Amino acid sequence: MTTTSPAPAAVDADRWPDVARVPRARLRATAARALARYAARRAGVRITTVGTPEPGGVRRPADARQRADVGQWGDARQRGEACDPGGVRITIPGAPDPDDVRQGAEVGQRGEARAPGDTRYPVGAQDPGEDAPVLRLHDPDAFHRRLGSDGLIGLGESYMAGEWDSPDPVALLTRLAEHYTDLVPRPLQPLRHITLPRRVRGERNTRAAARRNIGHHYDLSNDLFALFLDRTMTYSAALFDGPGPRDPDTLAAAQERKIDRLLDAVGAGPGTTLLEIGTGWGSLALRAARRGARVTTVTLSTEQRDLAERRLAAAGAGGAVDVRLLDYRDVDGEYDAVVSVEMIEAVGEHDWPTYFSALNRLVRPGGRVGLQSITMDHRLMRASRHSYTWMHKYVFPGGLIPSVTAIERQVRERTSLRVVDRHAFGADYADTLLVWRRSFDAAADQVAELGFDPVFRRMWDFYLAYCEAGFRSGIIDVEQILLERAR
């Protein structure tokens, strides 16, 4: 599906300083060109060039630029080296043999598919074929400079700037995620931890930092979220009932099914005292109140708090639900059950012990805790825990997706809780994101009317596509995890 968000005609440098500014990074750009070709071959992705900017803003046809490249630097490519216009040559460990480079490196740039059975691909490479995902470069120089300077942050910023796109960004990002461990030659993989941005050591989600981080995302605009969420205003994975259409109506039913499964698991019913950590816009609290539960729900988002209170009052459930603008660390009391849907991802690794200790403290002996959490493989979590990513910079600052292993370790070491049930449904999250992305793209004009510029709209498109690809590839998952406190 092609994004409907146009490339920005101009970038507001005050609002988007790092999108407006292209890094110099000539040497790194040279390496990035070679690595991009290597990654495309490994993943079976076609890279095409739509056009490249020339001095004065004139665009030269892509194949003309490529012919110049081949003629000027063909000798370097025959040796498995990458060249930039300054004549710098970099040999990439793991580069294909000279014949592959001479006959095939430019093929990826032109987007030509090799015939099945062509043996010019190095061992381990994927033959893209005619149906391969396509990365379409509009400004190859800027793209490679950003990629070389900032890695995946640069990839996202380049998309925001309109320097590349794809006829199907989810298919492209899914293919890259499926080959994540193969995209960089093995001898160079240790360098990622040296050359790419890192998070500040000891960074903590203090109360002030947590409120600031939550506000960065959830206080953008209730009207914005209403444009792409379903009628329940639920902003987490839905649980679909088997195959079938994926649209706003089936999504709403799937969201209610997800909520009901979690409420059933913790035994929410008439007279139950229920604590919800992370209010959202009140959909779970409302369904719990309709069961007869007495609900306390806490959030750090003023926008969410205000709309949740209005929605609950309009539904006649205001008297059964107490919505508080409060950090989970400051909640007191004891409840029959606690639920928390996709909030742990914002807690941060340093504060996981505090979070799980709070869950243990806030649920009565014999009571249950229902968590819904995005998860990732434990080895991948450990490898990426200190990375500073595009998602941290633009969408969800301060968080970390946990692994199931990490959750189970915190439960075992910090609480008297035990895991009694787990249910994974990552494919349903991919479909949830598909509906959100379609709805967001269909509402492009309304998003603009709310004051969100083309750079923001491309950022949001990339965010939704990036997440959908994560779930479709299986690199991340989502689970409902049921915990029970010892009596």
- The strand pair at 89-91 and 273-277 is best described as unpaired
CA distance 442 to 248: 12
- The strand pair at 89-91 and 51-53 is best described as unpaired
Contact 214, 346 (CB under 8 A): yes
Listed in sequence order, the residues at least 6 apart from 345 whose beta carbon sits closer than 8 Å to its beta carbon are 373, 374, 396, 399, 400, 401, 402
Kindly provide the b/e burial profile for residues 76-91, where b requires at least 16 CB atoms within 10 angstroms of the residue's own CB: bbeebbbbbeeeeebe
Contact 105, 37 (CB under 8 A): yes
With CA atoms as reference, report the closest residue to 485 among 287, 283, 338.
338
Contact 155, 183 (CB under 8 A): no
Among candidate residues 36, 317, 447, 467, the one labeled active-site is 467
User: Residue 373: enclosing H or E segment and its boundaries?
Assistant: strand 363-376
Kindly provide the b/e burial profile for residues 413-424, where b requires at least 16 CB atoms within 10 angstroms of the residue's own CB: ebbebebeeeee
Alpha helices by DSSP H, listed for 367-453, are 378-384, 390-394, 404-414, 426-442, 444-449
Q: Position 6: which residue type?
A: P
Q: Is 83 a catalytic residue?
A: no
C-alpha distances in Å from residue 119, one per residue of 84, 122, 403: 28, 8, 40
Contact 218, 304 (CB under 8 A): yes
C-alpha distances in Å from residue 291, one per residue of 253, 268, 288, 333: 17, 7, 5, 22
Composition of the chain by helix, strand, coil, percent to 5 = 50, 15, 35
Hey, which residues are catalytic here?
467
